[in-house]
Structure 1
Amino acid sequence: MNKKIMAVLLSAAMVLSFAACASSSKPSASSTAGTASSAAASSEAAAPKLDYPKRAIEMVVPFGAGGSADMMARNVAQLMGNYIDKPINVVNKAGGGSTTGMVYANEQEADGYTILEITPSLPIIEAQGTAPINFTESFVPIGNFQVDIQSFAISKKNPNFSDLDSMIAYAKAHPNTVKVGGTSPGGLDDYIVRGFAEAAGIQLVYVPYNSAAETKSALLGGEIDIYQDKLISFLQMIQTDEVVPIVTLYDRRLTEVEEMKDVPCTVEKGINFTQGSWRGFAVKKGTPQEIIDYLEEVLKKVYDSEEYRKMAENDKSDLIPGYMDAKTYGELWQKELVGYKSIFSK
């Protein structure tokens, strides 16, 4: 009897042993998942990663401190810090209608550590053939960030005129005596004064300064009669209650801006001239494409961020959608360059 029981037990043990062996020869679900996870990690580790940036990035503003270009660059640099773990340092390189900053940026390595802010001043200067280098041949776009509107203002203490109509009447009676300040000799501000004067049938004198801050001081000090700027910094000036806005170079009144809602636009006054500005960023040609793509991605994240939306709403730089990707921005460069060459060839 005991022998029979022993035999049964031995048989059962053998069956269990075979089952265990079979079980151990097949991978379990958990071991399969672990193997797949390890393979994925190994594959990810093998994939090349962008080793950038490893140090601080320099953002070159080719204008002086205090103007619209400087303000936007500093805001963007600050917000880029939310996505890049290295500092973005803004440096002002004013002079030559923005060519000083362009030349400086071109002297740096094409490695993504120098970003140049671009405005229409550079294609305007290139169209005139006065730049030491052509920016469209030396730089590649990252993207555009803002499109702004240009306006004129005068001091409340101006003894000769108090609004657009009286300014035009005075300028017609006194050719080449009304002075308009700006920050880019041979660049955008210079072009705007020439274009506006021609459309209005008057003659104005353009007086260049190194920065918007100097231009503002010149107006308040009586050195110039008209201060021109883009809305983003123009509003700060007229909110001081020392100046009076007289015209917006646009096709409608800016009714959504409290300080500008009663200011006429050029079109309604029969002056066929509208002009604003755009502001974007570029890097030196030869910069690795993966770095350009990375910076373009970061720039778009900044533009879409809630923090920037609030900034733009506050300074009214959101009246016209400004973002353009690198491809679209590059196409804008070429289009405007052709247009400016046509104008300056006449």
Structure 2
Amino acid sequence: MRKRTIQQFSVICTAALLLSACASKGSAPEKKQEADNSKQESSQLVSGEDDELDYPKRAIEMIVPFGAGGSADMMGRTVAQLMGNYIDKPINVVNKAGGGGVEGTVYVNGQEADGYTILEITPSMPIVEAQGRAPINFSECFVPIGNFQVDIQSFAISKNNPNFQNLDEMLAYAKENPGKVKVGGTSPGGLDDFIVSGFAKAAGIELLYIPYNSAAETKAALLGGEIDIYQDKLISFLQMIQSDDVVPIVTLYDRRLEEVEEMKDVPCTVEKGINFTQGSWRGFAVKKGTPQEIVDYLEDVLKKCYDSEEYKETAEKDKSDIIPGYMPAEEFGKLWEEQLAAFREVFAK
């Protein structure tokens, strides 16, 4: 575990950057018939010369470059299960956490460009590349399959926190005690680190960021009193709130989340005069050089997963699609470029 006091980045990354408008969901037939039909269609996807695609012939490995229990892990396992409705071979999820996504990214880059190793990606990848901390350039080594989710960030505290019980009290305490408020997250030097930095800069306070190896460790640290604030994306965050062990104090968004019962009374940063909104996207990529017909096949399967009735039911339950998240490969690739350029500008200052 590493500790460091946050001195804020000078440019605020807004919700308009990360929470880009995405394509809306289409309609779908009954879940069982859809899965059976789509599995047959996907397994018979053909190349441009009308030859049947001989893929996949064995299990596919999905690398989640973050620890178990967090939003990236939850989405990866959800998508792997959904993909099983359309692909006859297993989709095995493997967590390879470390370095803000670097360890998992480097691992996938070391595999064959054959479509049998898929990488889940988040804004941590362009952040790490913009900082020049990775041994490879993510944008030059991978090609997109598509984006699946866009999520909203929130902060929560333990209901037993002795120093503050809401956002106003936290801000007052932090101003009186610079660097004493401890915020836990994952991906040191990645998205969580950046979010804590941006929030503190906009709020005019100094926070102590403490990264952990996984969201599960971070949650345990909050409940054990090691940290004051737990920050995460809504898909993972919501379960903590429903347990009644934690109290949400702010959503890093431009409005309250009226559609989420547990969050409807939680203030957003904008209404509190804090000019910082931030979220995350989560999608998939494969190593550059993967045959285009395989990339197209995986993009087709990912879209079927997103449009499925099964995912709609899941998203309604865990509120993972408040902002429609799907982007096809081409659009997702453009988002990579925009993100990388924006983060390079941030870290150059």
Question: What TM-score, normalized by structure 2, do the two folds share?
Answer: 0.86
What letter is aligned with 1:151? S
Residues of 2 paired with 1:291 and 1:245: CA distance?
43
Give a deviation string over 1:114-145, Cα, whole Å, max 9, x none.
00000000001111111111110110000000
What letter is aligned with 1:116? L
Match of 2:300 among 265, 288, 297: 297
Residues of 2 paired with 1:102 and 1:191: CA distance?
19
Match of 2:85 among 82, 87, 99: 82
Give a deviation string over 1:280-302, Cα, whole Å, max 9, x none.
00000000000000000000000
What letter is aligned with 1:305? S
Give a deviation string over 1:52-77, Cα, whole Å, max 9, x none.
00000000000011111100110100
**Residue 128 of structure 1 corresponds to which residue in structure 2?**
131
Residues of 1 paired with 2:57 and 2:337: CA distance?
33
Note the 1:91-106 alignment, pairs <5 A. 91-106=94-109
Shift of 1:49: 1.2
RMSD of aligned residue pairs (Cα, Å):
1.0
**Residue 171 of structure 1 corresponds to which residue in structure 2?**
174
Match of 2:340 among 332, 337, 341: 337
2:296 paired with 1:288? no
Match of 1:267 among 248, 270, 285: 270
Residues of 2 paired with 1:345 and 1:47: CA distance?
49
Q: Which structure's residues are more often helix, by fraction?
A: 1
Distance change in 2, residues 1:47/1:332 (3 Å): closer
Shift of 1:48: 1.6
**Residue 122 of structure 2 corresponds to which residue in structure 1?**
119
Match of 1:226 among 226, 229, 236: 229
Shift of 1:167: 0.3
Residues of 2 paired with 1:220 and 1:331: CA distance?
40
Shift of 1:83: 0.6
**Residue 48 of structure 1 corresponds to which residue in structure 2?**
51
What letter is aligned with 1:235? L
**Residue 107 of structure 1 corresponds to which residue in structure 2?**
110
Residues of 2 paired with 1:333 and 1:205: CA distance?
29
**Residue 67 of structure 2 corresponds to which residue in structure 1?**
64
Shift of 1:164: 0.4
**Residue 218 of structure 2 corresponds to which residue in structure 1?**
215
Shift of 1:229: 0.6
Shift of 1:47: 4.1
**Residue 205 of structure 1 corresponds to which residue in structure 2?**
208
Give a deviation string over 1:283-340, Cα, whole Å, max 9, x none.
0000000000000000000000000010011100111010000000000000011111
Displaced runs of 4 or more, over 6 A: none
Residues of 1 paired with 2:266 and 2:311: CA distance?
27
Give 3-state SS (helix, strand or coil) of 1:260's partner.
coil
- Gaps of at least 5 residues in structure 1 are 1-45
Residues of 2 paired with 1:321 and 1:155: CA distance?
30
Residues of 1 paired with 2:137 and 2:182: CA distance?
30
Give a deviation string over 1:83-141, Cα, whole Å, max 9, x none.
10000000000011110100111111000000000000000111111111111011000
**Residue 31 of structure 2 corresponds to which residue in structure 1?**
none
- Gaps of at least 5 residues in structure 2 are 1-48
- Which of 1 and 2 has greater Rg? 1
Greater relative contact order structure (CA < 8 Å, 6+ sep): 2
Residues of 2 paired with 1:132 and 1:158: CA distance?
40
Residues of 1 paired with 2:324 and 2:302: CA distance?
15
What letter is aligned with 1:284? K
Give a deviation string over 1:251-280, Cα, whole Å, max 9, x none.
000011000000000000000000000000
Give 3-state SS (helix, strand or coil) of 1:48's partner.
coil
